[in-house]
Structure 1
């Protein structure tokens, strides 16, 4: 293919660490058969590393089978190579304690720990964590949470802090993280964009139409300029890649072929309780896509039929997927967080079909990390 002659990508590619049951279909009433055992999560991490991914995102979701920090530490201890981008909601922890937890993780697993701050988008889901704050207050809390983490990680001990939200005295965080802990942060609201421009290292966007992404990137560049900073930009999306375009679209349709009507109905109703701008934009794109579910060439909204968060996927053959990614790179996006169902097999498939085109390398034989993996549902 002509794409192989193009320059190698300098982007950072991440995968998704599934902490819920995994399978070939989404939106089914029955749970997938593959359980997120430590053995499976570890095998997923090492398979992703072999496929060329530098790290994997662990979501923070009360509906997952595992609490993500505990699962992340266990998996990091069992694996080598790829790291984890650990998500946290500021309403779940006191920042002084969480700063110590992340510093410990980075010191135990140098260079393998990154942090994704999640402010939350649904009052009903937030309430499961005991978090009843309104949208504006959540972003105020997020800003202070990140500020405190930075303060404790970089300034001499002891440290103190007092505000309406947080208060601690003479905290001693030693040793500091052996390496800086990058902070990833996303959100489509103005409040989210301002927090990111001031404090984040990487601003994450969910997959959207290219015109929507350009508009948000333009907004962010104005805001980062106001703070005299330069951020990196990342994109979170799913991917469905096969040897041919026809096979890729067949695989996409198969993924949602068993969506249960009751599951779908409850999922749509849940949007009436969402106050996150990004989540509402995803739902709007799904509605506007119509029966085809195609948002724009090679961008498909079908995942949003039965999954919260990012609901679109890049769909195509290896060359088409690689070129779509290069288009995002030309916009200034340099970090990508991908996923696919089931996650282990799709990480390997992406590594075999797409990664050589992106990195300018020849496909090489990759051996699945040993370990009994349960059948896919």
Structure 2
């Protein structure tokens, strides 16, 4: 069920410093510590997940708590010199036995300015293509000098860091604009997207696969989503609504406005949506309340919610980015949703989150994964 060649499901779990029953609210958050992260990642490893999307600052400190788990680690292209990035990847693979995957993040203007990168969005993809080509060469101990448009470096003289090497340093990432799709087709090994409205997401994946085919490549696709699994559908929805009840509407209104503006959207008072359900969420936040289930459930067992994927995303998917979308239900309901979506999207890699992280990972692994092992999708 966790094969690397696409013939079955491949599940990763989210690992973040923010944990707890309602981690976007400080009163329900576990105090962050290295020990808590190590305990959590050890449990995810024990449960048989393919990997973790690890946003902890020093993921290499967690490797010794695991045996098989791969680490998908976000990196901004150009934020580190290519030689430093290559050496860090070599060290990580030396200590992990070759279990590093890079999550290539194109980033937003305010974030990248902190790291001295000021290219526009489309140019960042050109920077990224050159950057990762250079990093991969250096990771493979190519000794030649680099003379590129964006990166220049002298020949490599230092001895290679010992340890396992991947044949090709793995890069997973996203990018939905024309420039982003072209970049994905050239650079990435797995294309990722948050769980959006299924028909629209299927079109995006088809576009990406067609671009990769034109470049003579196959590009698997993967989906990021949150999940709530309980013994019954009713209990799962009760937990989803309980998390909402513990959430501060005024804080969500403030975050929605700030985060919309940081991504270049109009603020909360100006933004509109052609989707009546999304417009209802916007109006609820403007009125100082949180949207209800009827405004959040956009398909059976799928709902827009809250997450800690990134603190910069607008809540309740009011910008159509899909970052807080959930699979909700009993083990059978969630398994059927995953089967249906995997077929519709042609995507069998899933990066999931749920809170508390270890507890929800355990529920999914013990109650949903066994059902999917029986699935005809998993048998292909």
Q: Calculate the TM-score normalised by the size of structure 1.
A: 0.82
- Provide the secondary structure at the position in 2 that maps to 1:295: strand
Check if 1:141 corresponds to 2:127. Answer: yes
Q: CA deviation at 1:167?
A: 0.8
1:157-176 alignment, distance < 5 Å: 157-172=142-157, 174-175=160-161
Change (3 A) 1:226 1:275: farther
State how far apart, in whole Å, the 2-side matches of 1:360 and 1:87 are. 33
Of stretches 108-117 and 176-185 in structure 1, the one that deviates more from structure 2 is: 176-185
Check if 1:234 corresponds to 2:222. Answer: yes
Which of 287, 297, 305 is the matching residue for 2:278? 287
- Provide the secondary structure at the position in 2 that maps to 1:84: strand
State how far apart, in whole Å, the 1-side matches of 2:307 and 2:29 are. 22
1:215-230 alignment, distance < 5 Å: 215-230=203-218
2:326 maps to 313
Which of 104, 115, 118 is the matching residue for 2:105? 118
State how far apart, in whole Å, the 1-side matches of 2:280 and 2:370 are. 31
**TM-superposition CA deviations, 1:120-170 (whole Å, max 9, x none):** 13x23333444333212222211112111222234x631221234211010
2:378 maps to none
Q: CA deviation at 1:50?
A: 2.3
Check if 1:19 corresponds to 2:17. Answer: yes
Q: CA deviation at 1:103?
A: 1.5
Q: CA deviation at 1:213?
A: 1.3
**TM-superposition CA deviations, 1:313-342 (whole Å, max 9, x none):** 111111111111112321321211000011
1:369 maps to none
Check if 1:355 corresponds to 2:369. Answer: yes
1:63-78 alignment, distance < 5 Å: 67=57, 70=58, 72-78=59-65
Q: Is the CA contact 1:27–1:263 (under 8 Å) kept in the aligned structure 2?
A: no
**TM-superposition CA deviations, 1:165-204 (whole Å, max 9, x none):** 2110102572585224321011222221111111111001
1:94 maps to 81
State how far apart, in whole Å, the 1-side matches of 2:244 and 2:11 are. 26
Change (3 A) 1:259 1:348: same
Change (3 A) 1:284 1:111: farther
1:337 maps to 351
1:327 maps to 340
- Provide the secondary structure at the position in 1 that maps to 2:231: coil
Change (3 A) 1:195 1:83: same
- Provide the secondary structure at the position in 1 that maps to 2:154: strand
1:150 maps to 136
Change (3 A) 1:210 1:33: closer
Q: CA deviation at 1:261?
A: 2.9
2:189 maps to 201
Change (3 A) 1:99 1:275: farther
2:286 maps to none
1:58 maps to 54
Q: Is the CA contact 2:87–2:161 (under 8 Å) kept in the aligned structure 1?
A: no
1:274 maps to 263
Structure 1: runs of 5+ lacking an equivalent = 1-8, 60-65, 277-282, 362-377
Q: Is the CA contact 1:27–1:260 (under 8 Å) kept in the aligned structure 2?
A: no
**TM-superposition CA deviations, 1:218-261 (whole Å, max 9, x none):** 11122011100001111111111111000111111112222223
How many residues are treated as equivalent by the alignment? 335
| Aligned CA-pair RMSD | 2.6
State how far apart, in whole Å, the 1-side matches of 2:99 and 2:211 are. 30
Q: CA deviation at 1:284?
A: 8.5
Q: Calculate the TM-score normalised by the size of structure 2.
A: 0.81
2:94 maps to 107
Of stretches 30-39 and 299-308 in structure 1, the one that deviates more from structure 2 is: 299-308
Q: CA deviation at 1:308?
A: 4.2
**Which of the pair has the greater relative contact order for Cα pairs under 8 Å at 6+ separation?**
1
Q: Is the CA contact 2:45–2:66 (under 8 Å) kept in the aligned structure 1?
A: no
State how far apart, in whole Å, the 2-side matches of 1:183 and 1:284 are. 35
Q: CA deviation at 1:289?
A: 6.7
